[in-house]
Structure 1
Amino acid sequence: MGNFGFSEILLIFLAFLILFGAKRLPEFAKSLGKSLREFKKATSDIQDEIESASTAAQKPVEAKKFDSAKETSKETTSEKSDQPDIQG
């Protein structure tokens, strides 16, 4: 679905020409183009908002991971210093 050949496009164009007339067809095309631009802009805005929310949600998680890695490193070094040095 969505694969239109030349004959289908021509048939649709002729149907619009008969229904709307030659004078109203450019107005219709202009309003259709404007609507498509607005739709694409709204879609882009929504995607940007989702990406920014996702990025904002990931920052605290990454910071938490970094903090827990620091704590683990501190615990490991403190445990090493508590153990006596045994060398032969």
Structure 2
Amino acid sequence: MQQPILLFIGGTEIVFILFIVVLVFGADKLPEIARGLGKGMRTLKDATNDIKHEVTKSAKEANIVDTNVTKDIQQEINKVKDDVEDFSGSVKRNM
């Protein structure tokens, strides 16, 4: 069975990286690091939502509502969102 690859990093590499992180920062700093990662991902998600809303608002104001372009943008945003959620899910499971 093939392991899922995340950002070209396998499960073994992720475990090794987490081991190094624990050695460098200590177990007591891990929740703080995870909190920082969570805040960063939340900020990224909020920023993408703000951009999406601004683009949509500008398009509506200019009466440029091209559904194909809007769908393409929405698909790209969803891909990025899924990638971020996949990454955050693997980080949460390994911590």
Structures share a fold, TM > 0.5?
Answer: yes
Query: 1:55-81: per-residue Cα shift (whole Å, max 9, x none)?
Result: 11116xxxxxxxxxxxxxxxxxxxxxx
Q: Work out the percentage of aligned pairs sharing the same amino acid.
A: 37
The correspondence for 2:58, drawn from 44, 53, 56, is 53
The 5 A counterparts of 1:8-87 are: 8-58=13-63
Q: Greater helix percent: which structure?
A: 1
Unaligned segments of structure 1, at least 5 residues: 60-88
Per-residue deviation at 1:5? 1.0
Q: How many pairs were matched up?
A: 59
Between 1 and 2, higher relative CO (CA 8 Å, sep ≥ 6) is seen in 2
1:7-44 CA-to-partner distances (Å, cap 9, x unmatched) read: 11101111111111000011111111111101110111
Gaps of 5+ in 2: 1-5, 65-95
CA–CA distance in structure 2, aligned partners of residues 27 and 9 of structure 1? 19
Distance across 1 between alignment mates of 2:35 and 2:25: 14
* In structure 2, distance between residues paired with 1:55 and 1:21: 51
> Which amino acid letter does the alignment assign opposite residue 20 of structure 1?
F
Provide runs of 4+ in structure 1 moved above 3 Å: none
